[in-house]
Amino acid sequence: MASQSIKPPAGQGPKAQGPDQPKRGIKNPVIYIGTVVLLVIVVIAFVFVPAGGGALGSSNSGNLEFGRYAGKAVAYAQKGYFAEQVKSLNDNLRQSGLPAENYQFYAYQVWHGAYERTVVRMAILDAVEKAGGFATEAKIDEQITELPAYQENGKFSLQRYRSAPLGEKLALRKSIREDLLTQMYYSDAILGRAPSSKETAFIKEMAKDTRTIEYVAFPLAAYPDSEVAAYVKANPAPFKRLALSRITLGENESEALSLRKKIADKTAVFEDAAKASSKDSYAEKGGVMGALPLHELLSLLATKEDAEKLAALPPGELSPVLKTAAGSYAFFRADAAPADADPADAAVLADAREYLLSNERGKIEDFVAAKAKEFASAAAPDFAKAAKAAGLPVKSAGPFPINYGDFSIYVSEYRQYIPVFAPVAGEAAPELAAASTSDRFFEAAFSTAPGSVAEPLVLGDNVLVLRVKEASSLGAESNGAEIFYPYFVRSKAETEAREAFLKSPLFKDNFSAVYLKNFMPKEKAD
């Protein structure tokens, strides 16, 4: 049976753009989906399986179990569903006329795709049967009468059916029964899912209004070294450097206490004990950690007080056994007296900058935002002129709707996310990567009047100043949501069900190991 994946509505793709026509922004982004789906089909066509022979042909002599679902084998057998799916995927991809380079990679994709289809089908049958679903013998008989193999002069031939081998007829009835149960599931659980008219109207409204913006970005990385150095001088404690060695003994505290006592009693040597017993990355170096800033130790240990105990250790002394943030037990040795950080040292500045971004990010954002606000005031009369004077590149984005979360649906048939509306960020606008999940960004873009400059806003690792170049609306023109949105809802339902089946505890997956063992040359499998 062919894959049950939801197909997009037919005949809804956009008209092709003539070769002499200029490129335009997508004013009708939902209808754009038709083109994307076609492109995705082309991408999928790169999966290629060579004809006969070689390792691929060697498995056709018998059943091959790749996994289990609900205790039943997910096995490849001639004329079985798994084999049908391998052939179906293989035939579709052959028709693309692609060369055979990297055929092993493409073969793996074909077999794995057929395997997942088989697992999902088995899961669906298991779910439907547990729910009490069944197919009547009369319905199966009805399906048989429509099969071309048993037709004669345009009518069902009972004689042809009766003369068929019993094994063929039993396998056929089993296949039809499973097809009917699978169709029952898709009809009830997937095709029966439809959004309300109000939900569809809301989605349609989202795409009605669009904005085109231009912007400049003030990166947080431009925070001056002089400010970082001033922070280190004013707050030296986190950057005090401690020269330590360490021994880690897993989650057994008594083992750590025993080894520490031996070292303290001088019946064991710290470096030798570290190499023999320590369970961390410093063991090979005899436990030597080198000089670390105190703030790094705060993240290594379970409590701030334990880190401060290390800062107070005299040179050569052992710390108490301490619990680490990972749950293991460790003890340390001070190899030198703590040293104050030098704010003029490039390594110290780099470390302090990372510390500020992680722990005092607001301080950096406020500083950069103040610079951005000065620019915004100067840019109000002439954005481009102000940017040129400040040496800042101006970038553009749009038109885009209020596309919160980059609304898209994963279509399992094509293994691709298909966008519903035009995304905010593109490859040329990396500073807008976080825009799709920023309330403040959409508020600034859609509440600022065309031609006006919005207040600076923090977005990811930048502070943006944007100007609305154009506000447009589709008005009475349909954006296609009433056609495509129900399809996307069903596609999402199918994807969620598929993912749930493939993550089910009933599923025992052994595909990769079996495939590599039976289909790959030994040297490649190794």
pLDDT in tens, 384-405: 999 999 999 999 998 888 888 8
Q: Does 455 map to a domain? A: yes
Q: What is the pLDDT of residue 9?
A: 42
Residues 214 and 245 in one domain: no
Structure tokens at 92: 């579709």
Over residues 252-257, the mean pLDDT reads: 90
Q: Does 159 map to a domain? A: no
Residues 325 and 388 in one domain: no
Q: Does 91 map to a domain? A: yes
Q: What is the pLDDT of residue 46?
A: 32
Q: Which of 484, 488, 419 is nearest to 190 (CA)?
A: 488
Q: Does 491 map to a domain? A: no
State pLDDT tens for residues 197-242. 888 788 777 778 899 999 999 999 999 999 999 999 999 989 999 9
Q: How far apart are CA 228 and CA 267, in angstroms?
A: 47
Of 264-268, 362-366, 484-488, 518-522, the range with the lowest mean pLDDT is 518-522
Residues 456 and 382 in one domain: yes
Give the domain CATH number at 304.
3.10.50.40
Q: Which of 123, 88, 103 is nearest to 47 (CA)?
A: 103
Q: Does 140 map to a domain? A: no
Residues 319 and 383 in one domain: no
Structure tokens at 81: 């569903």
State pLDDT tens for residues 443-484. 999 999 999 999 999 999 999 999 999 998 765 445 566 777
Residue 245 has pLDDT above 70, yes or no: yes
Share of the chain above pLDDT 90, in %: 45
Structure tokens at 511: 């595909």
For the whole model, what pTM was predicted?
Answer: 0.57
Residues 214 and 249 in one domain: no
Structure tokens at 198: 């109000």
Residue 60 has pLDDT above 80, yes or no: no
Q: Please, what is the end-to-end C-alpha distance for the chain in angstroms?
A: 36
Residues 394 and 469 in one domain: yes
List the strands of the sheet with 329-334, edge to edge: 288-293, 241-248, 329-334, 322-323
Structure tokens at 495: 């994807």
Residues 369 and 451 in one domain: yes
Residue 523 has pLDDT above 70, yes or no: no
Structure tokens at 380: 């109000």
Question: Who's near 385: CB < 8 A, 6+ residues apart?
Answer: none
- How is 37-98 classified by DSSP, letter by letter? HHHHHHHHTT----SSSHHHHGGGGS-EEEEEETTEEEEE-TTSHHHHHHHHHHHHHHTTT-
Q: What is the pLDDT of residue 394?
A: 95
Q: What is the pLDDT of residue 376?
A: 95
Residues 430 and 510 in one domain: no
Q: Does 164 map to a domain? A: no
Residues 298 and 390 in one domain: no
Instruction: Phi first, then psi: give them for residue 434, nearest 5 degrees.
Output: -95, 5
Q: Does 124 map to a domain? A: yes
Q: Please, how many CA atoms are within 13 Å of residue 227, restricted to the half-sphere of its CB?
A: 15
Structure tokens at 217: 């970005």
Structure tokens at 34: 């038709």
Residues 367 and 467 in one domain: yes
State pLDDT tens for residues 270-292. 999 999 999 988 999 999 999 88
Residue 301's DSSP bridge partners are 324
Altogether, the residues listed in the chain come to a count of: 526
Q: Interior CA angle at 236 toward 230 and 240, to 5°?
A: 135
Highest mean pLDDT among 4-8, 392-396, 407-411: 392-396
Q: Strands 395-400 and 209-219, how do they pair? A: antiparallel
Radius of gyration of the chain (CA): 33
What mean pLDDT, rounded, does the chain reach?
Answer: 81
Q: Which of 408, 431, 435, 425 is nearest to 495 (CA)?
A: 408
Q: How far apart are CA 356 and CA 354, in angstroms?
A: 5
Q: Tokens 């052959």 appear where? A: 94
Q: Does 193 map to a domain? A: no
Residue 18's DSSP bridge partners are none
Residues 419 and 512 in one domain: no
Q: 166, exposed or middle or buried, with CB in 10 Å at 0-12, 13-18, 19+?
A: exposed
Residue 395's DSSP bridge partners are 215
Phi/psi region, residue 175 (left: phi>0; alpha: psi -120 to 50; beta: rest), is alpha
Q: How far apart are CA 214 and CA 216, in angstroms?
A: 7
Residue 41 has pLDDT above 50, yes or no: no
Contact status, residue 396 vs residue 217, Cβ threshold 8 Å = no
Residue 324's DSSP bridge partners are 301
Domain of 507, in residue numbers = 33-132+503-525
Residues 465 and 512 in one domain: no
Q: Tokens 């002129």 appear where? A: 385
Contact status, residue 421 vs residue 401, Cβ threshold 8 Å = yes
Residue 98 has pLDDT above 80, yes or no: no
Return the percent helix, strand and coil in the chain, to nearest 5. 50, 15, 35
Contact status, residue 491 vs residue 191, Cβ threshold 8 Å = no
- How is 94-131 classified by DSSP, letter by letter? HTTT---TTHHHHHHHHHHHHHHHHHHHHHHHHHHHHT
Q: How far is CA 157 from the centre of its chain?
A: 53
Domain count, the chain: 3
The band of 493, judged by pLDDT with boundaries at 50, 70 and 90, is confident
Q: Tokens 């800033």 appear where? A: 293
Give the domain CATH number at 438.
3.10.50
The band of 100, judged by pLDDT with boundaries at 50, 70 and 90, is low
Over residues 319-342, the mean pLDDT reads: 91
- How is 369-390 classified by DSSP, letter by letter? HHHHHHHHHHHTT-HHHHHHHH
Whether the link from the prior residue into 399 is cis, omega within 30° of 0, is: yes
Q: Tokens 């993912």 appear where? A: 499
